[in-house]
């Protein structure tokens, strides 16, 4: 190839490319998803991508879903969100807390595009906030594990001490203590959302310290593999992880975004979309439990189901008093329950959790 022909080659590439681009522009509406991790993480992002696929399957050729994975929280996310908006996406889901401010910034520039931000607390006319009350799932799980444990020690693998995680620890502890007052919850913070090796190490450490049930607020199935090998119980996170621990997994707290994503997409298509604040629990289907392990006695399953139904119809509130904080002060009085604002900023343990909450 001679030097001269290179510019013409580049030109040809550009022309052919733009023709192709023109050809692919169709009448379907584009729905975008921005992910913080790779779709292959088998955890958080994986579940959101299943939601995307549900939208695509449900609405078929009416929509074209696109996604960008492993987007860093920072300047990159704003660019990606903006690019999707400028590219004619009708509705864009941004699925990590760190995308909150970038989403709002872009939303201001694109008032006609609709945005949905997961796990944040800020909204705008064209930005909805949505999140799931995973703590409801942990509360139900607490009723089970409080009875299943023989050592009365429950191990909990935490990622970062943010309210979302602390809420889960507290909900679990309150439920477990309600059926077994001797329960202790030990927490190991791994300072990462995702490091299979370190998560496995934390599970081992907790088991070695006497825990015979392992819960996690991290993304990989590694802790379940450890539980399976060590012959203790575990609870899956985000997905049904029983493939990794057929004997050990009691159940799993499943993130299920499918229903929400399909409903919001439909709303965006038929014009009924409004900015909303959704914090959905069992009642919206966002939180679900994987099939119970056969080893759980029937009366426990009944208790769990009763609790779940109670949460669903509002008769049971996980953070209803009376209970104390770890330091002995009152968490909520009898007949009271914590409001959403308190839950959103929760930065203290309830009684029964061991160790100090890192600050």
Partner 1 sequence: MAGFDWIVPVILTMITAATPLVFAGIGELITEKSGVLNLGVEGMMLVGAVTGFITATVTGNYFLAVLAAAFAGSVMAFLFGVLTLSLMANQVATGLALTLFGVGLSALMGQEFVGMPVDPLDKLYISGLTDIPYIGPIIFGQDGLVYLSFAVVAAVSWFLYKTKAGLILRAVGDSHDAAHSIGYSVIGIRYLAVMFGGAMSGIGGAYLSLAYTPMWAENMTAGRGWIALALIVFATWKPGLVLIGAYMFGGITILQLHAQAAGLDVPSQVLSMLPYVATVLVLVLISKDQSRIRKHAPACIGKIFHPAA
Partner 2 sequence: MLLKIEKRSESSRVMVYMTPIIALVLTVLCSTVLFTLLGVSPVEALNTFFIQPLDSRYDLSELFVKATPLMLIAIGLSVGFKANVWNIGAEGQLTMGAIVGSSLFIYFHDIDSVFLLPAMILLGAIGGAAWAAIPAFLKTRFNANEILTSLMLVYVAILFLSVLVHGPWRDPDGFNFPESRTFSDSADMPILVAGTRMHFGTLLALLAVLGTWIMMAKTLVGFQIKVIGSAPTAGGYAGFSQKKIIWFTLLFGGALAGVAGLSEVAGPIDQIIPTISPGYGFTAIIVAFLGRLHPVGIFFASLLMALTYLGGETAQISLGLPVAVTGVFQGMVLFFLLASDVLVNYRFRLNIGRKAVS
Strand ranges inside the chain, DSSP E: 29-34, 63-68, 89-94, 114-118, 127-132, 153-158, 184-189, 213-216, 233-238, 249-255, 277-280, 287-289, 323-324, 330-332
Residue 98 binds which of partner 2, partner 1, none (CB < 5-8 A, kind-dependent): partner 2
Q: CA–CA separation, 82 vs 89, rounded Å?
A: 10
- Out of 44, 67, 319, 323, the only residue in the binding site for partner 2 (CB under 8 A) is 67
Instruction: Using alpha carbons only, give the angle 158, 164, 167 rounded to the nearest 5 degrees.
Output: 85
In the complex with partner 1, the residue whose CB is nearer, 41 or 258, is: 41
Q: How many residues bind partner 2 (CB under 8 A)?
A: 48
Which residues lie closer than 8 Å to 4 by C-beta, 6 or more apart?
none
CB 203 within 8 Å of CB 221: no
Q: Which positions from 129 to 158 touch partner 2 by CB under 8 A, shown as an x/- string?
A: ------------------------------
Of 39-47, 106-114, 296-304, 338-346, which segment contacts partner 1 by CB under 8 A?
Answer: 39-47
Residue 310 binds which of partner 1, partner 2, none (CB < 5-8 A, kind-dependent): none
String of DSSP letters for 25-80 = --SSEEEEEE-SS-GGGSSHHHHHHHHHHHHHHHHGGGEEEEEE-S--TTHHHHHH
Write out the binding residues for partner 2, residues 70-109 only, by CB under 8 A.
Answer: 70-76, 78-80, 83-84, 86-87, 97-98, 101
Q: Which positions from 330 to 359 touch partner 2 by CB under 8 A, shown as an x/- string?
A: --------------xxxx----------xx
Of 3-11, 54-62, 184-192, 289-297, which segment contacts partner 1 by CB under 8 A?
Answer: 184-192
Q: Is the dihedral of CA 42, 44, 47, 49 positive or negative?
A: negative
Write out the binding residues for partner 1, residues 222-251 only, by CB under 8 A.
Answer: 222, 225, 229, 239, 243-244
Q: Which positions from 339 to 358 touch partner 1 by CB under 8 A, shown as an x/- string?
A: ---------------xxx-x
Q: Which residue has the tokens 């499918």?
A: 258
- Out of 144, 188, 227, 254, the only residue in the binding site for partner 1 (CB under 8 A) is 188
- Out of 29, 58, 163, 262, the only residue in the binding site for partner 2 (CB under 8 A) is 163
Residue 185 binds which of partner 1, partner 2, none (CB < 5-8 A, kind-dependent): none
Q: Which residue has the tokens 């839950």?
A: 343
Is 292 near partner 2 (CB under 8 A)?
no
Residue 139 binds which of partner 2, partner 1, none (CB < 5-8 A, kind-dependent): none
Q: CA–CA separation, 187 vs 154, rounded Å?
A: 9
Phi-psi region of 326 (alpha: psi -120 to 50; beta: other; left: phi over 0): alpha
> CA distances (Å), 335 to each of 11, 138, 163, 188, 302, in order?
73, 22, 23, 32, 25
Is 155 near partner 1 (CB under 8 A)?
yes
Residue 78 binds which of partner 2, partner 1, none (CB < 5-8 A, kind-dependent): partner 2
> CA distances (Å), 178 to each of 55, 150, 181, 269, 301, in order?
40, 16, 6, 46, 16
Residue 332 binds which of partner 2, partner 1, none (CB < 5-8 A, kind-dependent): none
Shortest Cβ distance from residue 215 to partner 2 (Å)?
Answer: 21
Q: CA–CA separation, 2 vs 117, rounded Å?
A: 51
Of 121-129, 216-224, 249-257, 325-333, which segment contacts partner 1 by CB under 8 A?
Answer: 216-224
Give the residues lining the site for partner 1 (CB under 8 A).
Answer: 38, 40-42, 46, 155, 186-192, 194-202, 204-209, 211, 220-222, 225, 229, 239, 243-244, 354-356, 358
């Amino acid at each position: 190839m001679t030097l001269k022909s290179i510019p013409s080659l580049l030109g040809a590439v550009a022309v052919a490319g733009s023709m192709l681009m023109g050809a692919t522009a169709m009448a379907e509406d584009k729905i975008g998803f921005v992910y913080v991790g790779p779709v292959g993480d088998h955890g958080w992002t994986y579940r959101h991508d299943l939601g995307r696929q549900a939208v695509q399957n449900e609405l078929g050729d009416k929509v074209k879903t696109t996604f960008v994975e492993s987007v860093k929280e920072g300047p990159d996310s704003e660019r990606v969100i903006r690019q999707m908006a400028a590219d004619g996406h009708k509705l864009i889901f941004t699925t990590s807390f760190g995308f909150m401010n970038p989403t709002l910034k872009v939303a201001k520039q694109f008032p006609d595009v609709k945005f949905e931000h997961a796990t944040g607390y800020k909204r705008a006319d064209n930005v909805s906030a949505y999140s799931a009350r995973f703590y409801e799932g942990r509360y139900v799980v607490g009723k089970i594990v409080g009875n299943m444990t023989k050592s009365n020690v429950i191990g909990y693998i935490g990622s970062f001490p943010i309210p979302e995680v602390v809420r889960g620890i507290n909900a679990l502890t309150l439920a477990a203590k309600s059926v077994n007052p001797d329960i202790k919850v030990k927490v190991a913070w791994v300072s990462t959302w995702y490091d299979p090796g370190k998560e496995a190490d934390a599970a081992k450490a907790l088991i070695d310290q006497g825990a015979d049930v392992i819960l996690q607020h991290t993304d990989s199935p590694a802790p379940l593999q450890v539980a399976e090998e060590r012959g203790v119980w575990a609870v899956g996170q985000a997905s049904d992880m029983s493939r990794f621990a057929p004997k050990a997994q009691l159940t799993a707290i499943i993130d299920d975004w499918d229903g929400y994503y399909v409903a919001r997409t439909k709303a965006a298509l038929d014009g009924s979309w409004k900015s909303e604040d959704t914090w959905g629990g069992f009642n919206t289907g966002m939180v679900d439990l994987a099939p119970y392990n056969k080893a759980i006695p029937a009366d426990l399953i009944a208790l769990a189901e009763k609790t779940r139904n109670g949460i669903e119809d509002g008769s049971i509130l996980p953070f209803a008093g009376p209970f104390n904080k770890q330091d002995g002060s009152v968490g909520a009085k009898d007949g009271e329950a914590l409001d959403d604002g308190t839950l959103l900023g929760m930065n203290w343990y309830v009684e029964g959790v061991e160790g100090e909450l890192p600050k």
